[in-house]
Each structure stands twice: as C-alpha cells, then as structure tokens.
Amino acid sequence: SAVISQKPSRDICQRGTSLTIQCQVDSQVTMMFWYRQQPGQSLTLIATANQGSEATYESGFVIDKFPISRPNLTFSTLTVSNMSPEDSSIYLCSATTGGPNTEAFFGQGTRLTVV
C-alpha cells in the first residue's frame, strides 16, 4: 500500500491567481495521477504525471492551465493557473505501486474555492 499526503488540504483563492498542490507518497510508486472532482460530480482524470517528462493530459485538459511536475518517484505537483470560479473543485492525487491494473491509492484531496 501507499500513504499519500497532499498540501494544502484546502484553500480559498482569488480569481486570476495560481495555486500549486503538492503530493507526497511515502514509498516509490510506478504511476501518479491527478483527478478533479467538481461539486456534486464524480472524479475525472486530469493527467498522468510522468517522472522526468511531460505529463499526459486527458481530453479537455491542457498543460498551460494545469502544469504538472514529477521530479522523482515519490513527489508530484499540480498547478491550477489563472483560476476562475469554475475551477472550484476537489483535486486528488493518486498513485499505484505496481504496474497497470494494480490497486490505486488516493490522497485526502485539496478543496479549492475560487472567489
């Protein structure tokens, strides 16, 4: 298993600003992901964070809006850029310790409110 810590746990931000969310895993993991959960909705994958290379984004998400870094096997960041109220969501980091089709673990999420 893996324990995932996210910081901050919540924040209230002004529109037009940016917020960087950090995700730290307590052990080396093979894959890391970022999801978004809009109010009242289920989780949607934003991107796969690739170690040492550019993240792989899902349709509808772009690097300029959601730049992601993954400098090593235990750490990743997601930045929400030029925020608008529509970005108000819970952002969740996830990781798998094995290869494809292995169990996924999640952080406690970052609750973002943009005013």
Partner 1 sequence: KQEVTQIPAALSVPEGENLVLNCSFTDSAIYNLQWFRQDPGKGLTSLLLIQSSQREQTSGRLNASLDKSSGRSTLYIAASQPGDSATYLCAAPNQAGTALIFGKGTTLSVSS
Q: Does 109 bind partner 1 (CB under 8 A)?
A: yes
**DSSP state for residue 82 in the 8-state scheme:** S
> To the nearest whole angstrom, how small is the minimum distance from the Cβ of residue 82 to partner 1?
25
Nearest to 75 by CA among 90, 93, 58: 93
Q: Does 90 bind partner 1 (CB under 8 A)?
A: yes
Among residues 22, 24, 57, 111, which is the contact residue for partner 1, using CB under 8 A? 111
Among residues 76, 77, 89, 94, which is the contact residue for partner 1, using CB under 8 A? 94
Which residue bears the tokens 């550019």? 54
Q: Would you tell me which residues interact with partner 1 (CB under 8 A)?
A: 6, 31, 33, 41-45, 48, 90, 92, 94, 96, 100-101, 103-109, 111
